[in-house]
């Protein structure tokens, strides 16, 4: 499989890669002119391309073929994930991007173990993780990881979607009885300490659907992945095109 890179620097039949992607091709892979890669413009189009000139700072490529990317799910899922420590958050972002998340919104709530600190650095790292996951999964878009929000800000953003699911460990409506072929959805999952009853009431008052995820308690990094996988199955987005 050809290596995959995202770029918007495409003009006619010429494309350019710069920054870490150029260094990866030049210094890590030691690519040569003529070698083929797959480019994606982040807007749903893939390009078969051949390297014409390579340097650590810039790689120039010739576009050989253009095709519509077929990996993007019909469901547009905005994932609101309670902040978790270290690799737990990294894992949740990586796996939800692989599964087809459209965007990811980390947030802080009352029982969040991680405190608001170095959020710009965290966001930069999360974006790198999302980009690598999107490349690996053959995504047609590059999902955005937004800076962390507070709980109230998160609810305001989530309820802009036609349906916002608030996944509550104390139970709620079944997922299968709540979702019915939506084209856009927001999924809210909690931090390591879970949601408080007051937060669940606040979410319901804001218009969220309170749902349960069965009799087992899922870890903070497991819940968003499990819910998104279930939604993709219910929406038919796990079938091969």
Query: What is the spatial distance between Cα 123 and Cα 133, in angstroms, rounded to a whole number?
Result: 15
Query: What is the spatial distance between Cα 179 and Cα 158, in angstroms, rounded to a whole number?
Result: 16
| Residue 110 CA, distance from chain mean position | 24
- The residues near 20 (Cβ < 8 Å, ≥ 6 apart) are none
Same domain, 116 and 59: no
Residue 129 and residue 93 in contact, taking contact as beta carbons nearer than 8 Å: yes
Q: Does residue 240 form part of some domain?
A: no
Same domain, 61 and 110: no
Residue 61 and residue 212 in contact, taking contact as beta carbons nearer than 8 Å: no
Domain boundary pick from 68, 94, 121:
68
Q: How many domains, in total, are found in the chain?
A: 2
Domain boundary pick from 68, 97, 117:
68
Same domain, 55 and 80: no
Same domain, 53 and 161: no
Same domain, 200 and 141: yes
Residues forming beta bridges with residue 15, ordered by sequence position: 10, 61
Query: What is the spatial distance between Cα 228 and Cα 143, in angstroms, rounded to a whole number?
Result: 15
Same domain, 122 and 51: no
The pTM of this model reads 0.91
Buried b / exposed e across 10-46, counting CB within 10 Å, b at 16+?
beeeebbbeeebbbbbbeeeebeeebebbbbbbeeeb
Q: Does residue 33 form part of some domain?
A: yes
Same domain, 164 and 186: yes
Q: Does residue 241 form part of some domain?
A: no
Q: What are the pLDDT tens digits along the chain (241 aa)? A: 568 899 999 999 999 999 999 998 999 999 999 999 999 999 889 999 999 999 889 999 999 999 999 999 999 999 999 999 889 999 999 999 999 999 999 999 999 988 888 999 999 999 999 999 999 999 999 999 999 999 999 999 999 999 999 999 998 999 988 887 779 999 999 999 899 999 999 999 999 999 999 888 899 999 999 999 999 999 988 887 6
Domain CATH number, residue 10: 2.40.240.20
Domain boundary pick from 27, 47, 68:
68
Q: Does residue 239 form part of some domain?
A: no
Q: Does residue 39 form part of some domain?
A: yes
> Domain range spanning residue 37?
4-68
Same domain, 142 and 201: yes
pLDDT 10s digits, 18-41: 999 999 899 999 999 999 999 999
Same domain, 36 and 62: yes
């Amino acid at each position: 499989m050809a290596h995959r890179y995202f770029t918007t620097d495409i003009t006619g039949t010429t494309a350019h890669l710069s920054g870490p992607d150029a260094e990866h091709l030049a210094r890590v892979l030691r690519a040569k002119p003529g070698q083929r890669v797959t480019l994606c413009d982040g807007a749903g189009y893939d390009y078969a391309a051949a390297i014409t000139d390579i340097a650590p700072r810039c790689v120039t490529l010739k576009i050989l073929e253009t095709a519509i990317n077929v990996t993007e799910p019909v469901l547009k899922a905005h994932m609101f994930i309670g902040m978790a420590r270290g690799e737990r958050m990294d894992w949740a972002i990586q796996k939800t991007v692989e599964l087809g998340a459209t965007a990811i919104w980390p947030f802080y709530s009352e029982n969040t173990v991680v405190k608001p600190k170095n959020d710009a650095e965290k966001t930069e790292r999360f974006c790198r993780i999302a980009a690598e996951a999107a490349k690996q999964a053959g995504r047609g878009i590059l999902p955005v990881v937004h800076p962390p929000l507070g709980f109230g800000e998160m609810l305001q953003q989530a309820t802009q979607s036609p349906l916002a699911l608030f996944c509550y460990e104390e139970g709620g409506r079944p997922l299968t009885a709540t979702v019915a072929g939506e084209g856009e959805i927001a999924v809210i999952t909690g931090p390591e300490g879970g949601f408080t009853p007051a937060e669940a009431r606040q979410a319901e008052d804001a218009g969220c659907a309170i749902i349960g995820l069965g009799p087992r308690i899922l870890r903070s990094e497991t819940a968003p992945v499990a819910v998104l996988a279930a939604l993709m199955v219910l929406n038919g987005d796990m079938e091969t095109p």
